[in-house]
DNA sequence: ATGAAAGCGCTAACAT
DNA sequence: ATGTTAGCGCTTTCAT
């Protein structure tokens, strides 16, 4: 910038004014400076401006995975708000999450979106206490009072359940994520609630745990060995759905199935997969909006936004065959 | 940091030394400073250090899409090299690419990974000329001499083709991306080469163009109307594969199919999908390695790394039924 | 309307 | 082994 000032034969501050489109600079000055900028191929240093200004104009995100589905929407929303989004993945590892958050804080992001691992990073709590605007996405932050954007997990599970019941199913089981995770817990609980309401016994129909091929296979095998045999299944997240399809094939061993969260290939497999689709776009957008509003006004009360989910009926959820099917003598 | 110095009762530079683990500081100093840091919850400002040091320790990436498959590997590789990775998506839009690259340059990233849109951003060329280390990923940079990491597209198509031929197919067609894109062009060309080698006529067997549902459907319908009817198909990228499966169903209307690039559900659908899998991990890793080595030594000659691909045989590629099948009277 | 100068938070000489 | 001081590239008073 000094070079530009020198070449243009003006003061440093004038160059700065031109770069920042200050309306008080004269038109000839503007041209002289812009020429100098062009000849020097000058590019302002964003870090220096941020340092001086005290604001970074940057939002940070610590998400579970690079492919986290809200990121696309969040990036777009940030862009629309003229903020940059910097993000890193945590692989659902508390240590890594801590590292990522620290790194982002040292970059002095103006606010942080975090998809929290189950285990609470105490570091994050401290930053929030120090005034860092934070919004949790997908799962709320345990033990800390922070904004959050979550899916309507209960509504989704209930819709899936009702759909199966409406098709005549009674012997339904649930296979999903570990209840250590908020979403896993909420969905499993919602299922229990549903099952109880029709007189079923949740104790033998909820399989929650790690999403690994081995565990899911074992759970499926166990569930299918029960007599009377279950006729329907609700899977609690995409990883579970995929492993289930891998193990049982797209026909799911004759079970009716509703999967939590949509899959790219849900309409390709035969039979097509009926799903509860989360609105990732809306989640990402909402997270950025919440974050920006909190940056503007840190004293806002804590908000929790629940994003609706949608039942997408694809394959017919086949009726159970022949026999009677109450889960218990209801 | 001044605050820390004040609380610890030492000089600013001593705090800096402690923060940077300078070995010349005495042990009691270290403790005093660390205590002050802890009580003040001090967090160094990364931007200020970068500004002063002249290096950002950050790599930038401008990729097509948030879900770009190399990003995960690139992030990990960067992390291993103790560098941060900042990235944004370009949606294959030249304007957006330009914006993203400019933004990254203003952040003074030490180097840039870019998955170039077809249209050349002149801005990027200027930056490279000015000495910005850049490596292109997936597709080389048109008209600019820069490092690149690409898949072995020719080898992949050839493997797919040979596999089909070995199963008795002769009437094979190719459906893929627009030839404006490097990968689309290379794959289509490779297919032409293959087809010619068995005496087939590429003119009627290559369908390259935009990856939209409409175009792909039309291309499939046209291809399948030809007599003698084709017996096999090679799809040129995942988007094309998905639209093809959507249109024709997982049985692909009786065609044998080999798809370029693996799909998460390739082993789930029936019949399972045989694919040419790209090694996205290796690509991301290689890009970061190339970039870092070029940052270290800007005078390195330009390198192009080709990452091998792998044929994953899943479903049997059914033999064509009954009749004879030469593409022409070879 | 423009220039001079202070300072954002830090590192790296240079002193002692 | 520790302190003093001069910037890194910019914005922003405060003068003029």
Minimum-distance CB partner of A66 among B56, B72, B107? B72
Helix ranges (H only) for A167-237 are 182-197, 213-225
Which residues are CB-neighbours of B104 under 8 A, at least 6 positions away?
Answer: B60, B62, B86, B88, B112
pLDDT range class, residue A321, cuts 50, 70, 90: low
Q: Would you state the pLDDT for residue B328?
A: 40
pLDDT of residue A327 exceeding 70, the answer is: no
Average pLDDT, chain A: 94
Q: What is the pTM of this model?
A: 0.94
- A72 chain-B contacts, CB cut-off 8 A: 65-67, 89
- Phi (first) and psi of residue B28, to 5 degrees: -70, -40
CB A186 within 8 A of CB A177: no
**Integer Cα distance of B148 and B302 in angstroms:** 8
**Strand, helix or coil for residue A309:** coil
Angle between the N-to-C axes of helices B70-80 and B280-296, in degrees from 0 to 180, rounded to the nearest 10: 40
| Residue A148 β-bridge partners | A136, A304
Cβ B51 to strand D below 7 Å: yes
Q: Would you state the pLDDT for residue B325?
A: 44
Which residues are CB-neighbours of B172 under 8 A, at least 6 positions away?
Answer: B161, B164, B165, B195, B200, B205, B230, B231, B232, B233, B234, B327
Q: What is the mean pLDDT of residues A234-259?
A: 97
Q: Would you state the pLDDT for residue B327?
A: 45
Cβ A49 to strand D below 7 Å: yes
- Residue B249's nearest CA partner among A234, A211, A271, A263 is A271
Percent helix, strand, coil in chain A (nearest 5)? 45, 15, 40
pLDDT range class, residue A320, cuts 50, 70, 90: confident
Q: What pLDDT digit, counting tens, does each position of B61-86 carry?
A: 999 998 899 999 999 999 999 999 99
> From the C1' of C7, which residue's alpha carbon is nearest?
A52
Q: Would you state the pLDDT for residue B321?
A: 67
- Phi (first) and psi of residue A233, to 5 degrees: -140, 140
- Phi (first) and psi of residue B277, to 5 degrees: -95, 130
CB B256 within 8 A of CB B317: yes
Distance of residue A12 Cα from the nearest chain B Cα, in angstroms: 18
C-alpha dihedral sign at B123, B126, B130, B132: positive
pLDDT of residue A271 exceeding 50, the answer is: yes
- Residue A270's nearest CA partner among B249, B98, B168, B239 is B249
DSSP per position, A30-75: HHHHHHHHHHHT----HHHHHHHHS---EEEEEES-TT-THHHHHH
Q: What is the mean pLDDT of residues A109-129?
A: 91
User: And the tokens for A46?
Assistant: 């964003």
Distance of residue B78 Cα from the nearest chain A Cα, in angstroms: 11
Distance in Å, residue B7 CA to nucleotide C3 C1': 39
**Integer Cα distance of B220 and B174 in angstroms:** 10
Cβ A16 to strand D below 7 Å: yes
Interface check for B57 against chain A (CB to CB < 8 A): the answer is no
* pLDDT, one tens digit for every residue, chain B (330 residues): 999 999 999 999 999 999 999 999 999 999 999 999 999 999 999 999 999 999 999 999 999 998 899 999 999 999 999 999 999 999 989 999 999 999 999 999 999 999 998 777 789 999 999 999 999 999 999 888 999 999 999 999 999 999 999 999 999 999 999 999 999 999 999 999 999 999 999 999 999 999 999 999 999 999 999 999 999 999 999 999 999 999 999 999 999 999 999 999 999 999 999 999 999 999 999 999 999 999 999 999 999 999 999 999 997 777 786 544 444 433
CB B115 within 8 A of CB B62: yes
pLDDT range class, residue A318, cuts 50, 70, 90: confident
pLDDT range class, residue A317, cuts 50, 70, 90: confident
**Strand, helix or coil for residue A192:** helix
- A50 chain-B contacts, CB cut-off 8 A: 47
Q: Would you state the pLDDT for residue B122?
A: 85
pLDDT of residue A248 exceeding 90, the answer is: yes
DSSP state of B181: S
Strand C bases contacted by the protein (CB, 7 Å):
1-13
Kindly provide the b/e burial profile for residues A188-203, where b requires at least 16 CB atoms within 10 angstroms of the residue's own CB.
Answer: bbbbbebbeebebebe
Furthest-apart CA pair in chain A: how many Å?
A: 92
DSSP per position, B52-99: HHS---EEEEEES-TT-THHHHHHHHHHHTT-EEEEEE-TT-HHHHHH
B56: exposed, middle or buried (Cβ count in 10 Å: 0-12, 13-18, 19+): buried
**Integer Cα distance of B57 and B55 in angstroms:** 6
DSSP state of B260: E
B154: exposed, middle or buried (Cβ count in 10 Å: 0-12, 13-18, 19+): middle
Cβ separation of B242 and A130 shorter than 8 Å?
A: no
B172-176 and A256-260 beta bridge pairing: unpaired
Q: What pLDDT digit, counting tens, does each position of B100-134 carry?
A: 999 999 999 999 999 998 777 789 999 999 999 99
User: And the tokens for B5?
Assistant: 């110095």
Q: Would you state the pLDDT for residue A328?
A: 40
Q: Which of residues 186-215 of A touch B (CB under 8 A)?
A: none
pLDDT range class, residue A316, cuts 50, 70, 90: confident
Helix ranges (H only) for chain B are 2-8, 12-19, 27-40, 46-53, 70-80, 94-106, 122-129, 153-166, 182-197, 213-225, 238-248, 280-296
DSSP per position, A104-148: HHHTT-SEEEE---SS--HHHHHHHHTT--EEEESSPPTTS--EE
- Residue A116's nearest CA partner among A145, A147, A139, A143 is A139
CB B276 within 8 A of CB A299: no
Interface check for A300 against chain B (CB to CB < 8 A): the answer is no
The residue among B19, B46, B47, B125 with the most chain A CBs within 10 A of its CB, best to mutate, is B47
pLDDT range class, residue A143, cuts 50, 70, 90: confident
Q: What pLDDT digit, counting tens, does each position of A212-234 carry?
A: 999 999 999 999 999 999 999 99
Cβ separation of A102 and B43 shorter than 8 Å?
A: yes
Q: Would you state the pLDDT for residue B319?
A: 77
Q: What pLDDT digit, counting tens, does each position of A50-84 carry?
A: 999 999 999 999 999 988 999 999 999 999 999 99
């Amino acid at each position: 910038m000094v070079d530009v000032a020198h070449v243009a034969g003006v003061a440093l501050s004038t160059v700065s004014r031109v770069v920042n489109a200050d309306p008080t600079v004269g038109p000839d000055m503007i041209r002289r400076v812009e020429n100098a900028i062009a000849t020097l191929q000058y590019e302002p240093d964003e870090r220096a401006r941020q340092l001086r200004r005290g604001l970074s104009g940057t939002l940070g995100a610590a998400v579970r995975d690079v492919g986290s589905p809200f990121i696309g929407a969040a990036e777009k929303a940030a862009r629309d708000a003229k903020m940059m989004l910097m993000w890193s993945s945590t692989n659902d590892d508390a240590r890594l999450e801590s590292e990522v958050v620290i790194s982002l804080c040292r970059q002095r992001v103006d606010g942080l979106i975090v998809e929290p691992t189950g285990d609470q990073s105490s570091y994050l709590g401290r930053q929030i206490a120090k005034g860092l605007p934070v919004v949790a996405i997908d799962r709320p932050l345990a033990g800390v009072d922070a904004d959050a954007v979550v899916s309507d997990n209960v509504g989704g599970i209930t819709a899936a359940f009702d759909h199966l019941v409406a098709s005549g199913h009674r012997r339904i089981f649930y296979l999903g994520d570990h209840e250590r995770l908020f979403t896993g817990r909420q969905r499993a609980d919602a299922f229990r609630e549903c099952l109880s309401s029709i007189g079923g016994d949740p104790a033998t129909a909820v399989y929650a745990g790690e999403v690994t091929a081995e565990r899911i296979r074992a759970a499926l095998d166990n569930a299918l060995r029960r007599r009377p045999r279950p006729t329907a299944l609700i899977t609690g997240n995409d990883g579970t759905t995929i492993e289930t399809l891998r193990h049982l094939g797209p026909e799911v061993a004759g079970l009716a199935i509703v999967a939590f969260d949509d899959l790219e290939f849900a309409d390709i497999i035969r039979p097509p997969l009926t799903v509860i689709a989360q609105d990732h776009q809306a989640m990402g957008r909402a997270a950025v909006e919440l974050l920006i509003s909190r940056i503007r006004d840190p004293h806002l009360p804590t908000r929790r936004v629940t994003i609706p989910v949608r039942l997408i009926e694809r394959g017919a959820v086949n009726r159970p065959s022949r026999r009677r099917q109450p889960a218990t003598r209801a």
